[in-house]
Amino acid sequence: MTPLNTIGLVVCILSLLPRLKKLELTGIRFHSNLSDPMPSKLPPLPKLDRLQLYITTSGNDTASDPYNIIRLFPEIDHLHLYYSVYDETDGAAPAVIGPNTLPLNGNLKVRVLSMSNVPLGLHNRIMCDTSIAGSVRSVAVECGVIDEALGLSKFLSYARDGIEALSIDLTPFLIMVDYDLSLPDEQHMLDVLIPGIKACTALREFDISLCFCLPENDEDEYDSTVQWNCLIGLLSELADDVEHVTIKFMVPHGGHYEFYHIKEPEFRILHWWPTVSSLGLDWNALKNQLERLEKLQELTIQNYEGTLWNVGQEDEAFITEELGTLSRILKFEDTT
């Protein structure tokens, strides 16, 4: 028997499940030298309520195969992509996003799109897909590098008033910027993202994730300029009709840092659990931007999912006082 390739195997299984509503594929591994062509004939496939791809990759992986699996379906209510491990060169694609890179097949409809830790090649394929951009209503994406932000901004500029909910996770970018001054600064990131944000004229929900890294010197006052510039810069471009804003705080490694000492060859663990008040955040700037949103009904502040560090009772009291009259719409959520 001739072994089936990945796409062929998925199609074979799906053909036996005409009433399928939710599909989760976990631990999938693709290799560029084994890239699977799309089958010449496809059986009618069902509309999915949810498609989750949890992909484990290795060197020389390709973006084509997971993208082709996604394109098997005519409609997906919620598409979630997550890579547990990948090489930064896997599925690499040029950052140039434009008409010449758009796929010819325009049939797929996606209502909710969320991507986490996705290699740039697959990220760009999704962001260049006009059928997804033309049907999506909710988007949640990480922006760790400028190329990802460029893809997202182009995607939002195409989707325009179709976007009702937007979640941007800037924690990967902010972690790298804090430790590598040679990287693009926050103004470059804002310059790339803002055109897409401004295009979302029907936006109702906005969610942003920020992180705060251990200062180089314990005696230094914390400098939150980069993080707050990103937050204020994006809030300033939101449509006036936004009703819900969520701000997520994160400390990398849950506040646990390991250091290796050359003179004493051992790892030492430093616990950094800052209070919100110690971060030196400009709450007046935040209030000014939030008060501009006349239809704002709810402001949520929560800790980043999975982090051990969280916003405690002392922090909640401090934030409530700083926000003044906005505290009437303020709520806190603990996701730990």
- Which H or E run includes 314? helix 313-323
Handedness of CA 171, 175, 176, 182 (dihedral sign): positive
Residue 69 lies in a domain: yes
For 145-181, what is each residue's pLDDT tens digit?
A: 999 999 999 999 999 999 999 999 999 898 887 655 5
Res 56: pLDDT? 65
Per-residue pLDDT band for 244 (boundaries 50, 70, 90) equals very high
The pTM score is: 0.85
Q: Which residue has the tokens 């379906």?
A: 73
Res 238: pLDDT? 97
Mean pLDDT of 27-37: 57
- The span from the CA of 159 to the CA of 152, in Å, is 10
Within 10 angstroms of residue 21's Cβ, the number of other Cβ atoms is: 11
Mean pLDDT of 201-216: 88
Residue 189 sits at the vertex; the CA angle it makes with 115 and 197, to the nearest 5 degrees, is: 65
Res 269: pLDDT? 59
Which of 151-155, 196-200, 258-262 is predicted with the least confidence, judged by mean pLDDT? 258-262
- The span from the CA of 65 to the CA of 61, in Å, is 9
For 210-234, what is each residue's pLDDT tens digit?
A: 988 776 655 556 678 889 999 999 9
Mean pLDDT of 132-151: 95
Residue 16 lies in a domain: yes
For 39-98, what is each residue's pLDDT tens digit?
A: 566 667 788 999 998 876 644 445 677 888 888 888 999 999 988 754 444 444 433 333
For 277-300, what is each residue's pLDDT tens digit?
A: 988 899 999 999 999 999 999 999
Residue 109 belongs to domain spanning = 6-333
- The span from the CA of 191 to the CA of 106, in Å, is 30
Number of structural domains in the chain: 1
Residue 1 lies in a domain: no
For residue 79, the one-letter residue type is L
- Secondary structure class of 17 (helix, strand, coil): coil
Report residue 229 CA to chain centroid gap.
18
For residue 13, the one-letter residue type is I
